[in-house]
Amino acid sequence: MTLNADAKKVLLRKIPHGLFICGVREGDQVNGFTASWVTQGSFEPPLVVMAVRSDSTSHGMIERSTRFSLNVLRADQKDLAAVFFKPQAGVGGRFDAAPYDEGPLGLPLLKDAVGGVECELVGSVAHGDHTVFVGEVKTATLIADGEALNLASTGWNYGG
Ligand SMILES: Cc1cc2nc3c(=O)[nH]c(=O)nc-3n(C[C@H](O)[C@H](O)[C@H](O)COP(=O)(O)O)c2cc1C
């Protein structure tokens, strides 16, 4: 059986996605990157599922620290999402564009966003070019409820 690659691409791009800043910390080093492959995975305990490129800096930091945060961007924060997917000179430099507080788990939570959650890693599937991480939501900080940024509104694609 051969996969119809064109149909696969069109169909997988129909999956709706939000846009988030995933925050990571390993010792004194913090980093953050734009993530769209994110969804909820359980009500109780509250789980989130996020796929992370295996060749990214943050991938190893999540594996070693077993934690990550997810910051929910406002609908008007597209420019910030772009900062967090572009290559950076030094690890963590992207936060120059977006001040953060340390959450109760020590992870970066943006000061200006809808809010953010901190998660402890409870599972992973490493198969292919991304690892699917499952995180249990341990803290939640709501700054100001409002419309969140989604991938479709940006004209960007990540998927297919
Ligand atoms: C629209 C968009 C969505 C993205 N979504 C993800 C994602 O869900 N998971 C991921 O690992 N990378 C995603 N990326 C790519 C990362 O943001 C990018 O590789 C980043 O540079 C990784 O940073 P790091 O190497 O400092 O960890 C996305 C990029 C774009 C443009």
The model's pLDDT over 4-32, given as tens digits with 9 standing for 90+, comes to: 999 999 999 999 999 999 999 999 999 99
- The structural domain count of the chain equals 1
Q: What is the mean pLDDT of residues 132-154?
A: 98
Q: Is 146 helix (H, G, I), strand (E, B) or coil?
A: coil
Q: What is the mean pLDDT of residues 83-103?
A: 94
Q: Is 149 helix (H, G, I), strand (E, B) or coil?
A: coil
> Order of strands, edge to edge, in the sheet holding 47-53?
29-35, 20-26, 67-72, 115-126, 130-142, 47-53, 38-42
* Residues within a 6 A CB radius of ligand 1: 31, 33-37, 51-53, 56-58, 85, 130, 151, 156, 158
Q: What is the mean pLDDT of residues 34-49?
A: 98
89 has pLDDT over 90:
no
Residue 105 lies in a domain: yes
Residue 2 lies in a domain: no
Q: What is the mean pLDDT of residues 81-96?
A: 93
- Cis bond upstream, residue 45 (ω within 30): yes
Q: What is the mean pLDDT of residues 102-107?
A: 98
Residue 11 lies in a domain: no
Tell me what percent of the residues of the chain surpass a pLDDT of 90: 97
Q: What is the mean pLDDT of residues 70-77?
A: 98
Q: What is the pLDDT of residue 109?
A: 98
52 has pLDDT over 90:
yes
Q: Is 118 helix (H, G, I), strand (E, B) or coil?
A: strand
Residue 140 lies in a domain: yes
Nearest-atom number in ligand 1 for the CA of 19 is 3
Ligand 1 pocket test, candidate residues 25, 29, 36, 77, most atoms within 8 A of CB: 36
Question: Both tokens of residue 26?
Answer: 């390993």
Residue 93 lies in a domain: yes
Ligand 1 pocket test, candidate residues 34, 50, 54, 86, most atoms within 8 A of CB: 34
Residue 42 lies in a domain: yes
Going by pLDDT thresholds of 50, 70 and 90, the confidence category of residue 90 is confident
The CATH number covering residue 139 comes to 2.30.110.10
Residue 24 lies in a domain: yes
Phi, psi torsion values for 11, nearest 5 degrees: -70, -45
